[in-house]
């Protein structure tokens, strides 16, 4: 196993700058989530690490080995594709064994490792099936098995779970995390699903327009976003209108900063909570969704959102004046 | 409702088309088994014309030459056409559209003109007439058919399969052999069958490019008819049609497989 170092990578497609001087370090054995809107360069970064693109400038190291000029097939990576890319003309066992056969692993060892890896992804009984005979979740497991069977230095996942429906996706997230921890492989994955990024990663990198915005553990990035984009992209942010700043307990000077509160940090009531930061607003809508509820509130003309357990929200007048309050330490400050 | 009337008219129409297409061929095939050299009825079953045909060294030599030329054409056109299709599928390069368009005229331009042009050109560059010239000409005619069938099959190919294979350590040759070719195989087979048929049935270009006394089967038939018709021609023609139709039916089956799955 080994970490991956990306230093000052620049990649253009024609005139478009897909990666703009990106430097980021992927720790050995870590699960690193690359998160960003479409066109942010996250997939390009993953595919550049894989070797499908050669960068115009910069260095890439997998372990101790510089690989920026090494072709894909010699980088010793495992990759899982968004559509799984299983070979339709091969059985599950042959799909998983492909990388072993290419490396001329002896037949007996090949069989043993295919069986071991299929057991690891809990597909033991399906070795002889064709991809067309598998469910979406099973295909996903085959794709994962195929990517890790050769013990690659790094595992690259391109939107690994986006093709699955929601309940299956949550199961697979847990499964993926378990397998990654079992084999301890350095893993980099691309997603546009912030919840998935928070669930799976022990580090997150947020990209925007070909640049790294912020890198850190999920909690740190969520609690202390470095700028307005990071605050709004990972989780939701209620921005405090400038006209309301007076009288609030703020973590930084109002000059040169903007302030936000996460929807789940808010409490709602019909009177202000004087011990905490409080703002007056007008309740627009209360949406019941089982255990949780969402309230849409207008604060000085800007739309706010509150998320809480439904039982924690008091009875409110149908629509009208309400007070929102939050602990001072829950205020997020970013440079304006 | 006209539901009943329309199918009836339609069927009649279809029957007429089939009659005009196949009746002459069937008559010819029947006559090849008729003992009379003058198409006389009643029909008297006989294989005398087939016996005469197979005893004619000129016909046998021409048939062998036709088959060998068709096989050579098939081999060359299928290899080149498949390579070209894969390149056109994988890469974007300046002038790609123009190149793709330029590949089709051989299908549209009358063979008479193609043949004349090739004859002039081959003499100009010193290839002249003869079997190599015929093969080059046939390859040029067959190439577009191969490219069309292989490209049709490739259009349903998922390029990430190649990427997946490479990510698992497979080099270019392994990717081609283990991933790409198995997928496009039905298209390649169909293209090869088309190439064989184009070459084997080709008259005009062969006539222009082959040397006298060195002709292919269609050219021999034409020359024989000009000298005087014998029912032997019916026998040869029946055999050629049987072979060509078999090839075409196979090609159609393979290319249909290529389209759907």
Is residue A186 over pLDDT 50? yes
Are residue A23 and residue A53 in the same domain, yes or no?
Answer: yes
Evaluate whether A18 touches A11 at the Cβ level (below 8 Å).
yes
The total of structural domains in chain A comes to 2
The stretch A214-227 carries a mean pLDDT of 92
Q: Which domains does chain B have, with CATH numbers?
A: 48-260 (1.10.3720.10)
- What tokens were used for A117? 């890896």
Put simply, the answer to whether A99 touches B174 (Cβ < 8 Å) is: no
Q: What is the pLDDT of residue A319?
A: 64
Put simply, the answer to whether B169 touches A78 (Cβ < 8 Å) is: no
* B167 reaches A (C-beta below 8 A): yes
User: How far does the CA of residue A149 sit from the closest CA of chain B (Å)?
Assistant: 9
Q: What pTM was estimated for this model as a whole?
A: 0.79
DSSP string, chain B: --TTHHHHHHHHHHHHHHHHHHHHHHHHHHHHTBS-TT--SS--B--HHHHHHHT-HHHHHHHHHHHHHHHHHHHHHHHHHHHHHHHHHH---TTHHHHHHHTSHHHHS-HHHHHHHHHHHHHHHT--SSHHHHHHHHHHHHHHHHHHHHHHHHTT--HHHHHHHHHTT--HHHHIIIIIHHHHHHHHHHHHHHHHHHHHT--HHHHHHSPTT---HHHHHHHHHHH---THHHHHHHHHHHHHHHHHHHHHHHHHHHHH-
- What tokens were used for B174? 């392994």
Q: What is the pLDDT of residue B255?
A: 67
Contacts of A86 in chain B (CB under 8 A): 164
User: How far does the CA of residue A179 sit from the closest CA of chain B (Å)?
Assistant: 19
Q: Which residue of B has its CA nearest to A132?
A: B261
Among the partner residues A76, A87, A147, nearest to B161 by beta-carbon distance: A87
Q: What is the pLDDT of residue B135?
A: 92
Contacts of B169 in chain A (CB under 8 A): 73-74, 76, 99, 102-103, 150
- pLDDT tens digits, residue range B150-168? 998 998 899 999 999 999 9
Whole-number mean pLDDT of chain A?
90
Put simply, the answer to whether B170 touches A102 (Cβ < 8 Å) is: yes
User: How far does the CA of residue B145 sit from the closest CA of chain A (Å)?
Assistant: 26
Put simply, the answer to whether B167 touches A50 (Cβ < 8 Å) is: yes
The stretch A61-89 carries a mean pLDDT of 91
Q: What is the pLDDT of residue B259?
A: 43
Put simply, the answer to whether B168 touches A146 (Cβ < 8 Å) is: yes
The CATH number for A145's domain is: 3.40.50.300
Are residue A20 and residue A52 in the same domain, yes or no?
Answer: yes
Domain boundary, last residue among A217, A232, A247: A232
Put simply, the answer to whether B168 touches A98 (Cβ < 8 Å) is: yes
Query: Given pLDDT bands bounded at 50, 70 and 90, which one contains residue A168?
Result: confident
Q: Which residue of B has its CA nearest to A94?
A: B178
- pLDDT tens digits, residue range B97-126? 888 888 777 777 888 888 888 889 988 888
User: Hey, of B169, B173, B183, B258, which one would you mutate to test binding to chain A, going by the most A CBs within 10 A of its CB?
Assistant: B169
Domain boundary, last residue among A232, A249, A279: A232
User: How far does the CA of residue A72 sit from the closest CA of chain B (Å)?
Assistant: 6
Whole-number mean pLDDT of chain B?
84
Q: What is the pLDDT of residue B40?
A: 67
Is residue B2 over pLDDT 70? no
Are residue A142 and residue A250 in the same domain, yes or no?
Answer: no
Are residue A283 and residue A187 in the same domain, yes or no?
Answer: no
Q: What is the pLDDT of residue B261?
A: 39
Among the partner residues B161, B169, B183, nearest to A102 by beta-carbon distance: B169
Are residue A69 and residue A216 in the same domain, yes or no?
Answer: yes
Is residue B77 over pLDDT 90? yes
Burial of B57 from C-beta contacts in 10 A (0-12 / 13-18 / 19+):
exposed
CA B123: distance to chain centroid?
A: 26
DSSP string, B4-65: THHHHHHHHHHHHHHHHHHHHHHHHHHHHTBS-TT--SS--B--HHHHHHHT-HHHHHHHHH
Of chain B residues 179-238, which have a CB less than 8 A from chain A?
179, 182-183
Put simply, the answer to whether A72 touches B166 (Cβ < 8 Å) is: yes
Are residue A160 and residue A248 in the same domain, yes or no?
Answer: no
Are residue A301 and residue A228 in the same domain, yes or no?
Answer: no
Is residue A1 over pLDDT 60? no
Are residue A68 and residue A112 in the same domain, yes or no?
Answer: yes
Q: Which residue of A has its CA nearest to B172?
A: A73
Are residue A144 and residue A201 in the same domain, yes or no?
Answer: yes
Among the partner residues A79, A83, A89, nearest to B167 by beta-carbon distance: A79
User: Hey, of A70, A76, A79, which one would you mutate to test binding to chain B, going by the most B CBs within 10 A of its CB?
Assistant: A79
Are residue A222 and residue A241 in the same domain, yes or no?
Answer: no
Are residue A270 and residue A135 in the same domain, yes or no?
Answer: no
Q: What is the pLDDT of residue B260?
A: 42
Q: What is the pLDDT of residue B83?
A: 93
Positive or negative, the CA dihedral A11, A16, A22, A25 is negative
The CATH number for A261's domain is: 2.40.50.100
Higher pLDDT, B22 or B85: B85
Q: What is the pLDDT of residue B50?
A: 81
> Which ipTM did the prediction report?
0.83
User: How far does the CA of residue A247 sit from the closest CA of chain B (Å)?
Assistant: 57
Query: Given pLDDT bands bounded at 50, 70 and 90, which one contains residue A320?
Result: confident
Q: What is the pLDDT of residue A212?
A: 93
Domain boundary, last residue among A198, A232, A266: A232
Contacts of A146 in chain B (CB under 8 A): 164, 168
Put simply, the answer to whether A85 touches B182 (Cβ < 8 Å) is: no
Put simply, the answer to whether A147 touches B167 (Cβ < 8 Å) is: yes
Put simply, the answer to whether B171 touches A98 (Cβ < 8 Å) is: no
- pLDDT tens digits, residue range A235-273? 889 999 988 888 888 888 888 899 999 999 999 988 888
User: How far does the CA of residue B229 sit from the closest CA of chain A (Å)?
Assistant: 53
Among the partner residues B160, B164, B182, nearest to A89 by beta-carbon distance: B182
Are residue A128 and residue A243 in the same domain, yes or no?
Answer: no
Domain coverage including residue A274:
236-335
Query: Given pLDDT bands bounded at 50, 70 and 90, which one contains residue B258?
Result: very low
- pLDDT tens digits, residue range B153-209? 998 899 999 999 999 999 999 999 999 999 999 889 989 988 998 898 888 888 888
């Amino acid at each position: 196993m080994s970490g991956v170092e990306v230093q000052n990578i620049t990649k253009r497609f024609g005139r478009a700058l897909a990666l703009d001087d990106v430097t980021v370090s992927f720790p050995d054995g870590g699960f690193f989530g690359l998160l960003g809107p479409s066109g942010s360069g996250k997939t390009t970064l993953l595919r550049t690490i894989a070797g499908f693109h050669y960068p115009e400038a910069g260095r890439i190291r997998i372990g101790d080995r510089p690989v920026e000029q090494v072709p894909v097939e010699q980088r010793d990576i495992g990759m899982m594709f968004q559509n799984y890319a299983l070979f339709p003309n091969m059985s599950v066992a042959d799909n998983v064994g492909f990388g072993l056969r290419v490396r001329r692993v002896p037949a007996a060892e090949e069989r043993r490792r295919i069986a071991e890896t299929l057991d690891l992804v809990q597909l033991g009984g399906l070795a002889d099936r064709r991809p067309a005979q598998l469910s979406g979740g099973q295909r996903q497991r085959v794709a994962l098995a195929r990517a890790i069977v050769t013990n690659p230095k790094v595992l690259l996942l391109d939107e690994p779970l986006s093709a699955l429906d929601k309940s299956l996706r949550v199961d697979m997230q847990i499964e993926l995390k378990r397998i990654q921890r079992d084999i301890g492989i350095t893993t980099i994955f691309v997603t546009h699903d912030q919840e998935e990024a928070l669930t799976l990663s022990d580090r997150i990198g947020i990209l925007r327009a070909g640049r790294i915005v912020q890198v850190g553990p999920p909690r740190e990035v969520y609690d202390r976003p470095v700028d307005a984009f990071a605050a709004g992209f990972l989780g939701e942010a209620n921005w405090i209108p400038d006209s309301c700043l007076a009288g609030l307990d703020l973590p930084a000077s109002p000059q040169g900063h903007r302030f936000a509160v996460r929807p789940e940090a808010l409490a709602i009531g019909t009177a202000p909570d004087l011990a905490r930061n409080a703002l007056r607003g007008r309740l627009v809508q209360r949406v019941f969704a089982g255990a949780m509820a969402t309230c849409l509130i207008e604060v000085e003309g800007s739309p706010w959102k509150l998320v809480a357990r439904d039982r924690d929200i008091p009875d409110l007048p149908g629509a009208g004046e309400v007070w929102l309050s939050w602990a001072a330490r829950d205020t997020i400050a970013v440079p304006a | 409702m006209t539901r009943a009337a329309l199918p009836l008219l339609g069927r009649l129409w279809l029957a007429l088309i089939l009659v005009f297409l196949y009746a002459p061929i069937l008559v010819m095939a029947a006559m090849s088994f008729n003992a009379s050299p003058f198409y006389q009825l009643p029909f008297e079953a006989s294989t005398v014309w087939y016996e005469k045909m197979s005893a004619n060294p000129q016909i046998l030599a021409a048939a062998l030459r036709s088959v060998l030329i068709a096989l050579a054409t098939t081999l060359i056109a299928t290899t080149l056409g498949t390579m070209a299709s894969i390149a056109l599928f994988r890469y974007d390069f300046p002038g790609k559209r123009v190149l793709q368009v330029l590949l089709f005229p051989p299908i549209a331009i009358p063979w008479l003109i193609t043949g004349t042009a090739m004859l002039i050109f081959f003499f100009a560059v010193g290839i002249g007439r003869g079997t190599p010239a015929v093969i080059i000409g046939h390859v040029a005619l067959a190439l577009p058919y191969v490219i069309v069938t292989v490209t049709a099959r490739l259009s349903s190919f998922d390029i990430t399969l190649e990427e997946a294979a490479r990510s698992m350590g497979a080099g270019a040759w392994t990717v081609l052999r283990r991933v790409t070719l198995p997928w496009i195989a039905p298209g390649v087979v169909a293209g090869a069958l088309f190439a064989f048929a184009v070459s084997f049935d080709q008259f005009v270009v062969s006539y222009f490019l082959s040397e006298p006394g060195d002709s292919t089967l269609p050219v021999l038939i034409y020359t024989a008819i000009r000298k005087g018709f014998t029912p032997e021609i019916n026998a040869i023609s029946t055999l050629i049609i049987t072979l060509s139709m078999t090839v075409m039916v196979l090609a159609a089956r393979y290319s249909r497989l290529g389209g759907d799955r």
